[in-house]
Amino acid sequence: MNLKLAFLAAQDIPQAKHDEIDALDQLAYENVAGHEENQKIEWASSQWIGLGSVDGCLATQLGCLEREIRINGHSLWVSGIGGVATHPQFQRKGYAKALLQATEKFIREELNTSFALLLCDGMPCELYRSLGWQDIADHVLYQQGGQTHRFESNVMIFQFSDESFPVGEIDLCGSPW
């Protein structure tokens, strides 16, 4: 089986493909701890979607966006990674790993942010750590409905420069991804 990877602007993806992506998300996350509680959150929309297909079947996917966040009052642009999901029949074959590695290249070449940030909630984080992602916090703040909320999650970054990630409480300045 040959994995075909693509990054598409979310706005350019046909509705039928969005439906397929949503179905994969539901399938991949239905047994994850906290899934029902997380469905109450209004998640940020991705600007780009990374897709991995095998023989024409959607095997793995993720969303990516750019966002200005704040850390103790310091503004910082990051690339947000979210919704990493792999169809159960394609798990443990290295497809998510290949997509994440391609995403690192996409961010480096197309987005040019110093850091990528992801929230590893209820999922094993070993895959991310094996690819060089670093644990930096156990929660973030986000805004929804005119209120600030605290989201308990393993917060991880991937560093694209020599710049140090600021220390302090992270405010996503909008919905989580």
The pLDDT tens digits of the residues spanning 97-116 come to 999 999 999 999 999 899 99
Q: Where exactly are the structural domains of the chain?
A: 3-171
17: CB partners within 8 A, 6+ apart:
none
CATH code reported for the domain at 3-171: 3.40.630.30
Give the type of residue at 57. C
Each residue's pLDDT tens digit, 115-126: 999 998 766 789
Query: Contact at 8 Å (CB) between 98 and 5?
Result: yes
Say yes or no to pLDDT of 142 above 60.
yes
Say yes or no to pLDDT of 33 above 70.
no
Given this model, what pLDDT does residue 122 score?
65
**Whole-number Å distance between alpha carbons of 22 and 71:** 31
94: CB partners within 8 A, 6+ apart:
none
Other C-beta atoms closer than 10 Å to the C-beta of 76 total: 17
